[in-house]
């Protein structure tokens, strides 16, 4: 039976998140106590795994960090490639919701772990005796074909039948869930239609990955910094937002303006939410843990994929663009190089001139709004 997870900004974990690192391995662990959010999610997820509600037992995934400056994290997860539900036929980024196809109102209710409800706040303090903020519910359920430990889906009010187009509420709650975790390895992401979203029913992905990713600390070029908007120039190029808890609502709204712009222009996109360094901080890798005080949200506009043949090694979606590569077969996992990975990802990126034009359009749009 699902439970209600009530929270406020007082539950956010600020600071570096207790990050420590094994030198040279790019792996991360946390010595901080588990937050209430982590305890709730991990307990619910482990319980469903023990009860056989997943399509396969995840086990300890074989993992290696590829040599090279991008430190790609490769994982062998053959069963996710073979056992996951067949993706729906997607023909448009703005495709309407279809209740006759699979959606999250048709799942086994036992897959639901809890509902997230943010407490209203007055003068910076939450009031437990008041009704929770109910603009919409965020239902958290297991992903029955997990790519990593804790892999869950965050579904805003399933009964409202939103298509797979981001809303301010979904973005804000996605950011809040990262702040609610004391584990720096908890990440959240989103695939739009045409960017390997497999279900046209609004949802985000959340999961734990105990490895550092380069997008957390790469240099950012300011575009509209007062709106938290920056350019990510290193491969793969895209855009990034950064927020601390006090600016969360403002930045979530700016992200929504960008994703709305992309939807209106029929541009597919992936997003990745992770603990990260402020854009202005200069640091070396050994000092990074003390600077991961906020959340970076990376937005990658990309070429649309409608009915395209899937890659044999890995599909290019939210986690792959961020540097986490779930491989479908052992041969590619064993022999892939960073050069190979970049060649695969490059096929899905916008041409440089198209990305530059989009950067100019989005910069002007956010400055004028």
Strand partners, 173: none
Taking phi over 0 as left and psi of -120 to 50 as alpha, with beta for the rest, 14 belongs to beta
Q: What separation in angstroms does the CA of 164 have from each of 88, 101, 156, 268, 360?
A: 12, 14, 11, 11, 26
Q: What separation in angstroms does the CA of 367 have from each of 116, 224, 282, 286, 364?
A: 33, 7, 26, 36, 5
Among residues 4, 2, 3, 1, which one has the least CA distance to residue 133?
Answer: 4
Among residues 203, 205, 269, 324, the one annotated as catalytic is 203
In the residue annotation, 125 being an active-site residue is answered as no
Cis check for the bond before 71: say yes or no (omega within 30 of 0). no
Q: Are 242 and 220 in contact (CB under 8 A)?
A: yes
Residue that is written with structure tokens 């990376």 in the block: 298
Among residues 363, 360, 213, 357, which one has the least CA distance to residue 298?
Answer: 213
**Active site amino acids:** 203
């Amino acid at each position: 039976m699902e439970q209600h997870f009530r929270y406020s900004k007082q539950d956010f974990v600020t600071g570096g998140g207790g990050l420590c690192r094994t030198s040279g391995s790019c792996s991360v662990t946390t010595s901080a106590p588990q937050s209430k959010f982590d305890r709730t999610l991990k307990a619910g997820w482990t319980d469903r795994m023990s009860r056989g509600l997943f399509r396969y037992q995840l086990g300890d995934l074989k993992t290696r960090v590829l040599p090279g400056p991008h430190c790609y994290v490769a994982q062998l997860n053959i069963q996710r490639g073979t056992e996951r539900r067949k993706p729906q036929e997607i023909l448009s980024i703005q495709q309407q919701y279809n209740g006759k196809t699979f959606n999250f109102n048709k799942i086994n209710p036992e897959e639901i772990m809890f509902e997230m409800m943010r407490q209203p706040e007055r003068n910076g303090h939450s009031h437990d005796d008041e009704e929770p903020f109910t603009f919409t519910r965020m239902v958290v359920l297991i992903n029955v074909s997990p790519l990593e430990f804790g892999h869950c889906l965050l579904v805003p009010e399933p009964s409202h039948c939103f298509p797979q187009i981001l809303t301010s509420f979904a973005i804000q709650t996605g950011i809040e869930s990262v702040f609610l975790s004391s584990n720096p390895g908890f990440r959240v992401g989103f695939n739009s239609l045409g960017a390997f979203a497999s279900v046209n029913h609004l949802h985000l992905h959340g999961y734990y990955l105990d490895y550092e990713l380069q997008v957390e600390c790469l240099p950012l070029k300011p575009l509209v910094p007062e709106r938290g908007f920056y350019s990510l120039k290193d491969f793969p190029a895209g855009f990034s937002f950064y927020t601390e808890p006090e600016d969360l609502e403002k930045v979530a709204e700016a992200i929504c303006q960008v994703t709305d712009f992309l939807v209106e222009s029929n541009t597919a996109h992936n997003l990745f939410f992770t603990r990260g360094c402020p854009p202005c901080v200069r640091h070396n890798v050994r000092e990074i843990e003390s600077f991961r005080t906020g959340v970076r949200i990376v937005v990658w506009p990309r070429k649309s994929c409608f009915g395209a043949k899937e890659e044999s090694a890995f599909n290019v979606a939210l986690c792959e663009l961020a540097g986490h590569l779930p491989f479908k077969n052992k041969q590619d996992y064993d022999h892939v190089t960073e050069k190979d990975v970049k060649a695969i990802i490059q096929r899905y990126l916008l041409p440089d001139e198209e990305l530059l034009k989009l950067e100019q359009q989005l910069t002007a749009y956010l400055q004028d709004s």
